[in-house]
Amino acid sequence: HTPSAVLLLMFLQWVRILFDFSGYSDIAIGLAKTMGLELPPNFRFPYIARNIADFWQRWHMSLSSWIRDYIYIPLGGSRHGPGRKFLNLLLTMFICGLWHGADWHFGVWGVYQGLGLAIHSVWEKIHKNPSPGSVGLWARIGFTNLFTAYGWLIFFYPLQNVFEYTKTLFFL
């Protein structure tokens, strides 16, 4: 593998999963309309998210809200201090990962997402008002997409493959 090949794979998985999940949701919404039911949208342009928290508010919104309401909040949410919030985010997203399948890479993907959300939460407290400039906005969107694209490697592939891809990306 070469770093450019791994980046291409990340990009292709990034597109694939959006088309898969969003497409299935659009089919369900369309079928419901034929029966006179109005379902809410399930994806709201997640790849223009400015950060990982924004991504999860836009991505698979029915699953995200269910996980928030039935796992994160009952665990205590952000109550009980930042340490407990950090743990609750990790546990919640770990469970979300296992919901996708009973394999380690799904659990690791969940922990990866939980760490991203926890680190973003701390970052947001430190940097309360990020610069509104377009360069800063595009940089945040780009970083969020790199973060999620790498996450899709974890989501789709066994951990041994992810280790190899990571070594390739960082020339190790």
Distances, alpha carbon 137 to alpha carbons 14, 41, 144, in Å: 20, 25, 11
Q: Taking each helix axis from N to C terminus, what angle separates 159-169 and 104-126, rounded to the nearest 10 degrees?
A: 50
Inter-residue contact 58 to 46 (CB < 8 Å)? yes
Q: What is the DSSP track for 14-81?
A: HHHHHHHHHHHHHHHHHHHHHTT--PPPS---GGG-SSHHHHHHHSSHHHHHHHIIIIITTTTTTTT-
Q: Please give the positions annotated as active site.
A: 100
Other beta carbons within 10 angstroms of residue 153's beta carbon come to 21
